[in-house]
Structure 1
């Protein structure tokens, strides 16, 4: 099936007005089991199509199709360089970029190379956003001029993690957040407090060790998160009084968003 699709891609590249149909064909290949059947010759052929395509978003989709195939293995950075160029031009959806860079990291390109090339790309803010969402902190030895950039990424990774934890806590303990989560515009990560409760991971002191070691939460905050976890696991119905006490102790009268986006000392 993959050979038929690739043949179709080639035919479209020879036509003048092929963009929409070619993109649909690439989406079919990228999101089907046929992608897993791609191998050496297919990768070479798809790579050769990139210079023939004028639309940058389609170039990016070809690269994603290649790199995200489980059979693709290469330490050649040519595709990575081209993909970063396209990302910097705004031709790639952020979530797709994060997934593709993750695929690069398991196909033979090191995180050191990915980090360095992103850090030196024109759009620094976008590079930071991608690296934060990737979540990886093991970048190997970096040149000294990138130390400040790396520290900024690490800080924002901690803030991202912290905001996710506290927004989930808020969803559970704040009655209005819980009541209106399904219609609210805030992106909390869970469609309802019930789902958040079922997925609550902090039940023992050991479960908060990762966050404490990285100074994502304070010891006081970690204790309250664990207390909520124990209430959840006790099969006791979480009443408003319990939730109000946890909320008050956690935020201490401060604006929840100020707390959410302020790392502990």
Structure 2
């Protein structure tokens, strides 16, 4: 297989060359295939990287190397070099958010400190994109220095909390609001699930509150009153087996939003 991949990249600006990078996008997050390709494949990608001019192809190649490489204390220097190159790819908008998060987590496993990731993003990437990336990145063990870095971290953590909060409330709406249940699958508004069945049967509220109640409170994602409403819903549909169209369930919408604008409630963190 490695010989075939080398053949595909022998000459630039060919259909074979384009095919290689299409294949790379397909396999870079499939560990069994990467393991099957082995160390020779990784070494070849490392050799190939300096020859690649296209920023999108460079980003894809780095992401694959990070997912494939066996990092140890002897490879710290290379991981730092590769990380700096990847920061330039992020700066130049050469990759998407999901790939960025996966790759940055890969760099953490390779030994790059989270603090250094934050510093380099702030230094080289525009503010809005940096905050978006950091809001999807695990930041609990990262502390900012006084000034701009600390402010950006605070803003990113707030956005992360709102993202979590809005997701929970979206699932809540799928259960308690008849119109949302009816039209979620065709709406341009995303409710995480196309229908309420996924929430009701697979995800929420089973396990959410018992496992994360204290975290939701301490992180100020939900208030104690809001969690109480969710606990009531859990009791009604899990223990009492109330139908979602029952008056008791329908009343929980009003109890949660308390007469306020739902959008204001969704996108405002509790004090």
TM-score after normalising by structure 2: 0.87
Structure 2 gap ranges (5+): none
Task: Return the match for 2:215 from 198, 201, 210.
Answer: 210
Secondary structure at 1:46's aligned position in 2? helix
* Residue 228 (structure 1) shift: 0.9
State the alpha-carbon separation in 1 of the partners of residues 20 and 34 from structure 2.
16
* Residue 237 (structure 1) shift: 2.2
Secondary structure at 1:134's aligned position in 2? coil
1:41-96 deviation per Cα after TM superposition (whole angstroms, max 9, x unaligned)? 54343123222112111101100111112634543311111112111211102212
State the alpha-carbon separation in 2 of the partners of residues 249 and 80 from structure 1.
49
Structure 1 gap ranges (5+): none
Q: Is the 8 A contact 1:9 1:25 kept in 2?
A: no
Task: Provide the residue aligned with 1:52 in structure 2.
Answer: 51
1:15 aligned to 2:19?
no
State the alpha-carbon separation in 1 of the partners of residues 208 and 58 from structure 2.
47
Secondary structure at 2:68's aligned position in 1? coil
State the alpha-carbon separation in 2 of the partners of residues 77 and 264 from structure 1.
40
Q: Is the 8 A contact 2:52 2:58 kept in 1?
A: yes
Task: Return the match for 2:111 from 108, 112, 120.
Answer: 108
Task: Return the match for 1:253 from 238, 253, 259.
Answer: 259
Task: Provide the residue aligned with 2:140 in structure 1.
Answer: 137
State the alpha-carbon separation in 1 of the partners of residues 89 and 213 from structure 2.
39
State the alpha-carbon separation in 2 of the partners of residues 131 and 117 from structure 1.
12
1:144-203 deviation per Cα after TM superposition (whole angstroms, max 9, x unaligned)? 331111111111111111111111111111111111111111112112111112211467
Aligned-residue CA RMSD (Å): 2.3
Task: From the superposition, tell whether residues 27 and 154 of structure 1 become closer, same or farther in structure 2 (CA, over 3 Å).
Answer: closer
Task: Provide the residue aligned with 2:247 in structure 1.
Answer: 241
Task: From the superposition, tell whether residues 17 and 195 of structure 1 become closer, same or farther in structure 2 (CA, over 3 Å).
Answer: same
